[in-house]
Amino acid sequence: MSHFLDRLKFMSRVKSTYADGHGAVVNEDRKWEDGYRSRWQHDKIVRSTHGVNCTGSCSWKVYVKNGLITWETQQTDYPRTRPDLPNHEPRGCPRGASYSWYVYSAQRVKYPMIRGRLMEMWREARKTMDPIAAWESISQDPKKAARYKSVRGQGGFVRADWDTATEMIAAANAFTVKKFGPDRVIGFSPIPAMSMVSYAAGARYLSLLGGACLSFYDWYCDLPPASPQIWGEQTDVPESADWYNSTYLMVWGSNVPQTRTPDAHFYTEVRYKGTKTVAVSSDFGEMVKFGDIWLAPKQGTDAALAMAMGHVVLKEFHASGKSAYFRDYIRQYTDMPMLVLLRQNQDNAGTLVPDHFLRASHLADNLGEANHPEWKTLQIDDATGEIVAPNGSIGFRWGEGAHNGGEKVGRWNLEMKDGGSGRTIEPRLSLLGQHDEVVEVGFPYFGGEHDELLRRRVPARRITLADGSTALVATVYDLQMANYGVDQGLGGPNVASSYEDDVPYTPAWQEKHTSVPARLVTQVAREFADNADRTQGKSMVIVGAALNHWYHNDMIYRGIINLLMMCGCIGKSGGGWAHYVGQEKLRPQFGWAPLAFGLDWSRPPRQMNGTSFFYNHTSQWRHEKLAVDEILSPTADRKRYDGLSLLDLNAKSERMGWLPSAPQLGTNPLDVVDAAEQAGKDPVAYTVEQLKSGALQFACDDPDNPANFPRNMFVWRSNILGSSGKGHEYFLKYLLGTQNAVFGDENDAITPSEVTVRPAAEGKLDLLTVLDFRMSTTCLYGDIVLPTATWYEKDDLNTSDMHPFIHPLSEAVQPLWESKTDWEIYKAIAKKFSEIAGPYLGTRKDLVCTPLLHDTPGELGQPFEPKDWKAGECDLIPGKTAPSMTVVERNYADIYKKFTSIGPLLDKLGNGGKGINWNTQHEVKEIGDLSHTVTEPGVSQGRPKLETAIDAAEMILTFAPETNGHVAVKAWEALSKITGRDHTHLAEGREHDKIRFRDVQAQPRKIISAPTWSGLESEEVSYNAGYTNVHELIPWRTLTGRQQFWQDHRWMLDFGEGACVYKPAIDTKTVAPVLGRKPNGNPELVLNWITPHQKWGIHSTYSDNLRMLTLSRGGPHVWISEAEAKANGIRDNDWVEVFNVNGTLTARVVVSQRVPKGMCLMYHAQEKIVNVPGAETSGMRGGIHNSVTRAVTKPTHMIGGYAQLAYGFNYYGTVGSNRDEFVILRKMKKVDWLEGPLVEKTEKEGATQ
């Protein structure tokens, strides 16, 4: 309706006045206000969240109006905390508040898309061939394959229909399974906790197929190897509410306000109650503003800082006897009283070095221990002076009590009792004053300026071994005192008489390495420990990516964790280690695992360590310059490592069963079983025979043999090429075979000696299928891109380590355009695969190799010296000296039926995890009643249905002890049989609780305490890791059953990491070969490359979101110091190029005084799809932050089959570190946006660069 007449009467609307003319009564139309009112009108509100690996796990209100998502706001109905604790809400951040922009944006992937050249060849082939033959004709023809592989990342997609896309994928998978093997079909998707059903969809399809799922937590370098090393736990940390219970809080390399925005209020609130906060950060991050003290160590030197703090604590609170609490804590809950053998060093100079833990098998009659005596560690009973085998070591975990099928009461507990007699003991911490000799013991040192072997005096006792010989032993406590340079009154060289001595590891010594004033280190260490002593453990350290992304991250973390153990903080509310990198807390983990890995139909699944996979198959090893002998300890026998490269050690680890393999064998595993049966032999025995004769090899021994390439790869819920792909340019060159900016060559790299080296292969992948809701960098390099539903268009589950709740993603509107949920996509692929592959493949038997897994008897591998069967050092024994081998039958026509139903193995074998198992027949019936059963004839008839994502979510909730009280009680009962102690009281109060999907849609629900985690979900205490270990006396899942200061595996000792030491950053040697080689006339500045989490995105998500681009600088940018910018003629907002031998990137520069000299900081995962010009060095568009990185693996992370040092999916293995890297930065002379079309000339030039 027109308001024309109203506007004409604008000057005559006053009808009367009041208040002496100061007020007026007017007659006007107020309909204009309706526009503002209707802006906030909506038809419904739906609860959902963002599956983005931010750890926030925030509950959001999604508003829908006229069938359209309009906006989102934070939900504020989390269950309340107890009265003395702030509530978790409001949770959220600006990034999450901008998500609805994506739903209708131009970035949205709306339809299935296929690379144009591939589609053209496919259509032509399908005119005369069936789908599988058509795929073979394209992928196995080098010229045809090169046509589409060489233009990956350069556009050229065409729209496809779902039937064509799923047919091509199914045909490629079927051909690959038959020609090369199912383990050549690979899947990568990260962090299940952020959207559990979506992850499970792809993993279930791959597992039923026999494909390999790649781990991610290790590849992201979110996995802290120190946690498995010390606790036998992947990562378990306090919820953020427990920060509020702390009375001394150090925030060390974790920018809480920026990267943990929803939880940062606990950090600020705890200061109001008097808690002192210390910020430790090399740059002035946002968390520094909240610190009472700021320690700014030079980046990468944090281990030196931690060691110096440990020196102060050991000297003032332990050696002096000041804290009885500390001594009681370390006596019961750590390995400090355990005895360690001392052996002669390799130099034969009379120096002793610490070796293995003394075990029961070392002594006469195995000290009376018949079961696994070689895995039972020993200590001295202070009351009697006798050597005893205390309860709790890993030898008591397996083969006794419930694990032995008997009724014997378990002894796997932390009661201070002799495992043999059951009498109470008092473990002796130090041999000082009760020693037979004082001996000089050598400790490796890597920090320069001092001897590489520090000889320090240790009290020792001489004992008689089983063979009649004698040996010297010392306690871990005395060895730690010596390692830290603390004088126990024994004098000698390399120990400190004061903190001012320049002796490793005093405060004065660390100042030379870190630049942190020694007085501040002494002050903080003293305050931290004094607070812990007075409060019995309420000192806490929050840590994050800034520390964990270094090559020697475990040394940094062990230094900090040692400090916490010395102070009795682990397992204490308000205290402990709070590591937050990645949303790793998949709370209903063992309800989810059978769904995700198809454990209800077949076991075991194929799972692969992501870092080793990518290091191998992107051929980053071809450019390796870090020699093994550069990182060896002076105490190592170097002959063992002569000529070996990092890849050689990784291959050795795989064939010894320490790490997994993918692909596994050099021959299709289906063909291996066929050959065995044709020879009339057992397939496992046949495989062992063929491996020993050399007729069969592990694929890792010949990585560039075309038979050993990964052929098909699925990427979903991930943007690996725009975010986590360390060595980005190597991915492009070797795995994808497309344009890249790798500047280095192999001429100056280290050549493996045991692994076969062939000419470099490029374009190994035949098919890259990417699922995403937006056109990410990975989508651009994909061959097939499938449109997924956004987080507001699907039903799923979400949990985090930051709070104790489980809550949903919900379908606010149906998936838009032609998008589908991940569950529906993989269901469609499974259906098409069964149709195509059923007649083609039929039923086959598959030989699956599995490493010696943690939390299984397999972790009791070789107890002392690791022997390699291939080197003739021992026999090949599957499950002991080599991987376990299992034959799995697969009917490929039934993949779809199995995908959409719950299989019978849960009825037969039950469910479980982390070393315990329980019966699940009741839950199988319960889920069948809830979701109904399959009526169609076939293998799934009568089984519970898994038709929808909600069915899948209900399966998770029904089988998980964290969401089903009956299951929780059964799980605690199973653990009680092994420990010999009753733990069921921890869940009995919630035994009748059952959390359903509709429950979490109504309100987030607090989970139930379960033995799969080491903390309690309680109204009395906040969740804190290690709580049940300390308060329920449940052992840590380590060799000793305790928290371990000492690591005694031979490789740990050989690489100098038996005890925590300071190791400087490694030299990646990536700058010198290109420094000054590609000049543009501007100065070149060499800087350390640091890539923290950003403010305007969560990883790469939101980095292309218009709202976030508007709030930030609107494209890639790097930060450098003011001083270095001025010295090199660089001004704020200039375009710069950053490069080294690995590749190059372009960005604007931010000049800031918050960045120290020597550092170049680029917030990670700023994609190269927005506002990125060409690079002068390469002539191609600039890359991402990982274009200048390359993965470098660490041998100590390859260890397996050794108690806590054993592989588990995302638990332990090589990690993808990148912070040791250096780059060259210079101002760009010319900014070229490369806006011309792709023509034959540029295509060829790009492919050859």
Which residues have CB under 8 Å from 447's CB, separation 6+? 304, 504, 513, 1062, 1063, 1064
Region 885-892: what's the mean pLDDT? 98
Amino acid letter, 725: G
Region 90-115: what's the mean pLDDT? 96
Q: Which residues of 354-376 are buried (b: 16+ CB within 10 A; e: fewer)?
A: bbbbbbbbbbeebbebebbbbbb
pLDDT at position 1227 over 80 = yes
Please name the helix (run of DSSP H) or strand (run of DSSP E) that holds residue 1146, with its range, or none: strand 1143-1152
The tokens for 479 are 């060895």
Q: Which residues of 146-166 are buried (b: 16+ CB within 10 A; e: fewer)?
A: ebbbbbbbbebbeebebebbb
pLDDT at position 1248 over 50 = no
Alpha carbon 287 to chain centroid distance? 24
Can you give the pLDDT at residue 135? 99
Geometric angle at alpha carbon 429, from 427 and 434, rounded to 5°: 100
The tokens for 1217 are 């570190």
What domains does the chain contain, in order, with CATH numbers?
Answer: 1-31 (4.10.1200), 113-222+590-885 (3.40.50.12770), 238-325+501-579 (3.40.228.10), 338-428+431-487 (no CATH), 1085-1189+1219-1248 (2.40.40.20)
Can you give the pLDDT at residue 2? 57
Amino acid letter, 832: K
Smallest CA-to-CA distance from 591 within 957, 1007, 191 is with 957
Region 260-286: what's the mean pLDDT? 96
What distance in Å separates the CA atoms of residue 274 and residue 269, rounded to the nearest whole number? 10
* Per-position DSSP letters for 1033-1060, written without gaps between them: -PPPSSSSSSB-S----HHHHHTT-SS-
Alpha carbon 1106 to chain centroid distance? 30
Region 86-102: what's the mean pLDDT? 94
Pairing state between β 1159-1161 and 1085-1090 = parallel
Region 1027-1052: what's the mean pLDDT? 99
Can you give the pLDDT at residue 281? 97
Least confident of 401-410, 444-453, 518-527, 1051-1060: 401-410
pLDDT band, very low/low/confident/very high, at 703 (cuts 50, 70, 90): very high
Amino acid letter, 839: P
**For tokens 């309690």, what's the residue?**
1016
Can you give the pLDDT at residue 545? 86
Q: Find the largest Cα–Cα distance for the chain.
A: 116
Can you give the pLDDT at residue 39? 84
Cα-trace Rg, the chain = 31
pTM reported for the whole predicted model? 0.96
Alpha carbon 1231 to chain centroid distance? 38
Q: What confidence tens digit (pLDDT) does each residue in 470-516 have?
A: 999 999 999 999 999 999 999 998 999 999 999 999 999 999 999 99
Q: Coil, helix or strand for 824? A: helix
Q: Are the beta carbons of 350 and 447 closer than 8 angstroms?
A: no
Q: Coil, helix or strand for 355? A: strand
What distance in Å separates the CA atoms of residue 1097 and residue 259, rounded to the nearest whole number? 10
What distance in Å separates the CA atoms of residue 1117 and residue 1150, rounded to the nearest whole number? 7
What distance in Å separates the CA atoms of residue 1077 and residue 1072, rounded to the nearest whole number? 9
The tokens for 183 are 């383990």
pLDDT band, very low/low/confident/very high, at 1243 (cuts 50, 70, 90): low
Which residues are paired to 46 by β-bridges? 62
> Three-state secondary structure along 1175-1221?
CCCCCCECCCHHHHCCCCCCHHHHCCCECCECEECCCECCCCCCCCC
What distance in Å separates the CA atoms of residue 1019 and residue 676, rounded to the nearest whole number? 58
Angle, helices 669-678 vs 683-693, to 10°: value is: 100
Alpha carbon 1220 to chain centroid distance? 19
Which residues are paired to 576 by β-bridges? 540
Q: In what order do the strands lie in the sheet with 157-159?
A: 157-159, 113-115, 784-787, 767-772, 712-716, 185-188, 212-214, 606-608
Which residues have CB under 8 Å from 406's CB, separation 6+? none
Smallest CA-to-CA distance from 312 within 559, 573, 579 is with 559
pLDDT band, very low/low/confident/very high, at 1249 (cuts 50, 70, 90): very low
Region 312-318: what's the mean pLDDT? 98
Neighbour count for residue 1141 (Cβ, 10 Å): 24
pLDDT at position 830 over 90 = yes
Region 1052-1081: what's the mean pLDDT? 97
Alpha carbon 524 to chain centroid distance? 30
pLDDT at position 317 over 70 = yes
The tokens for 530 are 């004094």
Q: What confidence tens digit (pLDDT) does each residue in 222-250 have?
A: 999 999 999 999 999 999 999 999 999 99
Q: What confidence tens digit (pLDDT) does each residue in 1100-1114 have?
A: 999 999 999 999 999
pLDDT band, very low/low/confident/very high, at 1 (cuts 50, 70, 90): very low
pLDDT at position 14 over 80 = no
What distance in Å separates the CA atoms of residue 459 and residue 479, rounded to the nearest whole number? 9
What distance in Å separates the CA atoms of residue 831 and residue 840, rounded to the nearest whole number? 14
Can you give the pLDDT at residue 350? 75
Q: What share of the chain is helix, strand, coil (3-state, %, to 5)?
A: 35, 20, 45
Q: What confidence tens digit (pLDDT) does each residue in 726-783 have?
A: 999 999 999 999 999 999 988 889 999 999 999 999 999 999 999 999 999 999 999 9
Neighbour count for residue 734 (Cβ, 10 Å): 23
**For tokens 């300890």, what's the residue?**
633
Geometric angle at alpha carbon 617, from 766 and 708, rounded to 5°: 65
Can you give the pLDDT at residue 113? 99
What distance in Å separates the CA atoms of residue 120 and residue 160, rounded to the nearest whole number? 11
Mean residue pLDDT across the chain: 96
Pairing state between β 68-74 and 60-65 = antiparallel
What distance in Å separates the CA atoms of residue 347 and residue 1021, rounded to the nearest whole number? 53
Please name the helix (run of DSSP H) or strand (run of DSSP E) that holds residue 814, with its range, or none: none
**For tokens 């259509």, what's the residue?**
123
Can you give the pLDDT at residue 1247? 44
pLDDT at position 1242 over 80 = no
Can you give the pLDDT at residue 1235? 87
The tokens for 782 are 């994909």
Q: Coil, helix or strand for 869? A: helix
User: CA neighbours within 13 Å on the CB side: how many for 577?
Assistant: 27
Which residues have CB under 8 Å from 407's CB, separation 6+? none
Can you give the pLDDT at residue 35? 86
pLDDT at position 178 over 90 = yes
Q: Are the beta carbons of 389 and 420 closer than 8 angstroms?
A: yes
The tokens for 8 are 């004409």
pLDDT band, very low/low/confident/very high, at 31 (cuts 50, 70, 90): confident
Region 603-620: what's the mean pLDDT? 98
| Phi, psi for residue 353 in degrees, rounded to 5 | -135, 150
pLDDT band, very low/low/confident/very high, at 426 (cuts 50, 70, 90): very high
Burial class (CB in 10 A: 0-12, 13-18, 19+), 467: exposed
| Cα torsion 571, 577, 578, 584: sign | negative
Phi-psi region of 405 (alpha: psi -120 to 50; beta: other; left: phi over 0): left
Amino acid letter, 135: W
The tokens for 116 are 């144009």
Region 1221-1248: what's the mean pLDDT? 78
Which residues are paired to 343 by β-bridges? 353
Smallest CA-to-CA distance from 44 within 25, 70, 26 is with 70
What distance in Å separates the CA atoms of residue 553 and residue 535, rounded to the nearest whole number? 29
pLDDT band, very low/low/confident/very high, at 401 (cuts 50, 70, 90): low
pLDDT band, very low/low/confident/very high, at 348 (cuts 50, 70, 90): low
> Three-state secondary structure along 242-308?
HHHHCCEEEEECCCHHHHCHHHHHHHHHHHHCCCEEEEECCCCCHHHHHCCEEECCCCCCHHHHHHH
| Percent of the chain scoring above 90 in pLDDT | 93
